[in-house]
Chains A and B, each alone.
Chain A
Amino acid sequence: MIPKNVIGAGIDRVDGPLKVTGGAKYAGDVSLDGMVYAVPVTSTIARGNIASMDTSAAVKAPGVRIVMTRENAPPLFKGGNDYDDACQSGEDWMPLQDDEIYYDGQIIGLVVADTLERAIHAADLVETSYQSCRPMVDLTAALKKPDATQPATALGQPLQYERGDVDKALAKSPVRIDRTYTTPVQHHNPLEPHASVAEWSDDGSSLTLHETSQWVVNSRNSIARMLGIDQSKVTVRVLSPFLGGGFGSKGYAWAFSALTAAAARELGCPVKLVLSRRQMYSLNGHRPSTTQAVTLGSDRRGRLKATRHLCGTYTSKVFQYIEPVVLSTQLLYKCSSLRTGFDLARMNTGTPTPMRGPGETPGLFALESAMDELAFATGVDPIDLRRLNYAERDPRTNNRQRWSSKHLNECYDKGAEEFGWKDRPKKPASRRDGRWLIGYGMASATYPAQNTSSSVKVSLTADGRAEIEVASHDLGTGTYTILCQFAANELGLPVSKVSCRLADTFLPPSPCAGGSQTVASVGPAVIAACKNLLTFRKAGMPGEETVTIPGSQPNGFSWQSFGAQFAEVRVDAALGRIRVHRFLGIYDVGQIINEKTARSQVHGGIIQGIGMALMEATAFDPYFGRVMTPNLADYHFPVNADIHGIRVSFIDEPDPHFGPMGARGLGELPLTGAAAAVANAVFNATGIRVRDLPILPDTILAKG
């Protein structure tokens, strides 16, 4: 039977049976004949030079096949720094080519042995001495150093931006909020560690890499470049059919993959490398800390007259990553005088990299906290304040360009109704249940919509089955299921008759599974291919169709998703304990494709937002620059007991001006604004305004 309304339905994941039986093979699960194990040797200082490395004990240890250091490493080359050409590495530099140490945990060697146990031990036997210098790991100090810069743009958008006359408007504003907010370093911490398994053909004409990759096309291009491979002569194939979470950390290509392939080339056998949890705090990106000065000027009724948002953040010494913090401030509210500024320091840390909701996530913590402060200062209800400053059209275009569709006011209305916002304690610290103070908070969410060119191949068999093939990815986001739904819908087949192959560079290319663009980029290609196959389908004939469709071209509309986040917290002020008792998110993301996977993905975003609000932070030793929280007992993210009462609702109106399905993408949005909603609820519960995340028991005690 052909299911009706296959689009939007809460269909079980098609990869579910494999995942619940342990049958899904992730990169680190791959085992090949003759495979040996590689373990990186990493620096224990954060800045300086290698004076000497003594590898004699490691070389002699049982089972060791090679110990690679700067002394004997093959030449390796900088990976690409070209996102648009799918050649984007996380570092603009390559390890084992020089003596300099730029950050703690930097790769300075590679040990390969016949067993994992022997490789780990031999890596410990490498003795390294350094000439070390005091590293820079303090953001405030780093922003004052001469190597700090003021980059003009990020993602093609201006960071240094002004409209109207902010200083004048601020001077005339009767109400002013002028505060500094900070967010800490956060690590993605996918449960699956980064891994690479490399195998060369005997004649060296092809290299197969089983990678933890959110973007196999990029992994192929970048790793080939790092290895100095000419892809017209050597075939490089990258596979990543199952990915144990990424959250941005597996989008760019990282040096360890190239080292694995280089070792496999040297040794003539397959090599597996899986990063340790500790190594994952240095070698695969993180969200950089930020310090953000937000100044809001309004009239006494809360109408915004001026907004200023100045952000300081950092990148590493080996890559220019820019966390695009201030961009969402330019568009979220109607405000004629607005300035954003951006300072970028350089620190001795591993390279920061996009992490779920890059830019918007730290940026909206500051802006939406400041909006809550303005609501309190003016006595206007926080939702009313946001309605009052509603941007009916895109403020970046002098309020001329329309949104492709925007239902943020409906998010506020629906959220207020479902959450019972009218019962919110009107005064801070005015409601309690026993020892627990109760507070409500809310914030807006926003994230841009985008899509990029993708290809796809769909095949139809004579017995009425369809197969989709595309080098896209399912990070847990539901891609396998959703693409099957598209094909089933177009071809009039039950979902069970459609199968899908993903994340293999031998399949038609597709963009990075990041930036919430997979459905909007790959979905239209699947639909187009299926439409071309309809005549075959009707005739009951086999057929196949490969199509490439471009990303959406500018159409006179601004594409942006919105949402409203609501939190109820309970605070045991004497002991500093905070529980998020309820959380409700209402999102306007256009058409929902799979209600079940969408809901789950949104749960995840909210839960990461709760983590950001209440516990997540990476600490560096201030003197040594060493990561002091490099494990899951010291870097806390929420456990099951932290989470209850999460509810989610979608506006579920197709966007008429964005792609053929009107689906704008979903992954990042629910994390943006979530931490602010929690912090605003903490203020409502306790009267304590926390401007520095995370809100730990000590935070409440210090201010209570």
Chain B
Amino acid sequence: MDNPEIGQPDETADVAVPVTLTVNGRRHDLMLDPRVTLLDALRNYLGFTGTKKGCDQGQCGACTVLVADRRIDSCLTLAVMNQDVPIVTIEGLGAPESLHPIQKAFIEHDGFQCGYCTSGQIMSAVALLEHEKPPASDTEIRERMSGNLCRCGAYPGIVEAIRCVRDAARNPVAGEAA
């Protein structure tokens, strides 16, 4: 077991290996083919289908999740590389009866149409507002949300939703009134 890579790799090399993922605060012990990306582990092995596959190449952001409070494209990393770190998906954010403020704002400002890129947009927005330097301007929001493509063109609503949540956090009283 010291050097498990020793030996001639062959077609049996796709044997599953133990992988432990901590998703939305819960630990999951899995046996996975090392080829399984974090995205496919979430979707196909853990049932977190809220995280979407749009391109599988890091070019659309639909698969954005938080790993150790940072937003990443989960399609370009292997599940086996993401053990021992907290992973948060859209399912860990809020439920229909207990929405996260950003989820509420996306509904109020209609920050989506088809909804397919929405989980990724919201995870990016959460990272932007809660784990990164808050954006100072709409231009900055737009630039820093540009890793999340939306073909329906919901960008104006997305920017509005993020701006409103940011402003409400800065000024809670006014935020509640609005």
Contacts and interface: CB of A to CB of B under 8 A. Distances in A.
Interface of A: 12-13, 15-26, 28-29, 31, 60-63, 115-118, 121, 188-193, 242-245, 247, 274, 276-277, 475-478, 596-597, 599-601, 603-608, 631-633, 637-641, 643-644, 646
Interface string B111-143: 011111111001000000000000000110111
12 contacts: A12-B108, A17-B107, A20-B118, A21-B99, A22-B51, A22-B91, A191-B62, A600-B157, A632-B54, A640-B142, A640-B148, A641-B146
Nearest to A63: B14
A139 to B, nearest CB: 25
Given A639-B149, A643-B155, A476 B47 contact: no
A21 B116 contact: no
Interface in B29-57: 33, 35-36, 40, 43-44, 47-57
B114 A191 contact: yes
Nearest to B112: A19
B152 A21 contact: no
B56 A277 contact: yes
A190 B151 contact: yes
B94 interface: yes
Interface residues of B, number: 65
Given A17-B99, A31-B44, A31-B47, A600 B55 contact: no
Given A22-B89, A607-B153, A61 B54 contact: no
A28 B50 CA distance: 11
Given A31-B47, A632-B54, 8 more contacts: A18-B115, A22-B119, A117-B33, A118-B33, A277-B55, A475-B113, A631-B57, A640-B142
Given A16-B107, A605-B153, A640 B116 contact: no
The 9 closest A-B pairs by CB, nearest first: A22-B50, A244-B116, A476-B113, A476-B114, A604-B153, A607-B153, A19-B115, A17-B96, A22-B90
A605 B117 CA distance: 17
A640 B145 CA distance: 6
A347 to B, nearest CB: 25
Contacts of A15: 115
A62 B11 contact: yes
A638 B142 CA distance: 11
Contact of A117 (B36, B148, B149): B36
A643 B155 CA distance: 7
Given A16-B107, A23-B96, A193 B53 contact: yes
A596 B113 CA distance: 11
A307 B122 CA distance: 50
A632 B57 contact: yes
B48 A600 contact: no
Given A117-B14, A117-B35, A192-B114, A640 B54 contact: no
Contact of A632 (B60, B91, B138): B60
B155 A607 contact: yes
B66 interface: no
Contacts of A605: 153
Given A599-B110, A631-B55, A632-B60, A19 B154 contact: no
A31 B49 CA distance: 10
Contact of A633 (B48, B57, B122, B157): B57
A17 to B, nearest CB: 4
Contacts of B49: 22, 25-26, 29, 31
Contacts of B153: 600, 603-608, 638, 643
Given A21-B91, A117-B14, A632 B149 contact: yes
A529 to B, nearest CB: 27
B158 interface: yes
A635 to B, nearest CB: 9
B43 A191 contact: no
A244 B107 contact: no
A63 B93 CA distance: 36
Given A604-B153, A640-B159, A29 B59 contact: no
A94 to B, nearest CB: 27
B94 to A, nearest CB: 6
Contacts of B62: 191
Interface string B80-120: 00000000011101111001000100111010111111110
A475 B114 contact: yes
Nearest to B16: A115
B18 interface: no
Given A23-B50, A117-B35, A190-B116, A476 B152 contact: yes
Nearest to A607: B153
B156 interface: yes
Given A643-B142, A646-B156, A20 B116 contact: no
B14 A191 contact: no
Contacts of B114: 190-192, 242-245, 475-476
Nearest to B113: A476
Nearest to A29: B49
B122 A477 contact: no
Contact of A639 (B51, B108, B146): B146
Contacts of A20: 90, 99, 103, 106-107, 112, 115, 118, 122
A247 B114 CA distance: 11
A21 B55 contact: no
Given A20-B122, A191-B149, A274-B53, A643 B116 contact: no
A245 B57 CA distance: 19
B150 interface: yes
Given A22-B91, A596-B110, A605-B153, A640 B146 contact: yes
B174 to A, nearest CB: 22
Nearest to B107: A16
Contact of B152 (A23, A596, A604): A604
A600 B113 contact: yes
A117 B39 CA distance: 12
B64 to A, nearest CB: 12
A641 B143 contact: yes
Contacts of A28: 53
A603 B93 contact: no
Given A17-B99, A20-B103, A191-B54, A247 B44 contact: no
Contact of B118 (A19, A477, A596): A19
Contacts of A22: 48-51, 89-91, 119
Contacts of A643: 142, 153, 155-156
Contacts of A646: 156
A29 B90 CA distance: 14
Contacts of B159: 640
Nearest to A610: B153
Contacts of B147: 639
Contacts of A631: 55, 57, 59
Contacts of B171: none
Nearest to A604: B153
Contacts of B89: 22
Contacts of A193: 53-54
B53 A21 contact: no
Given A276-B56, A599-B110, A631-B57, A21 B151 contact: no
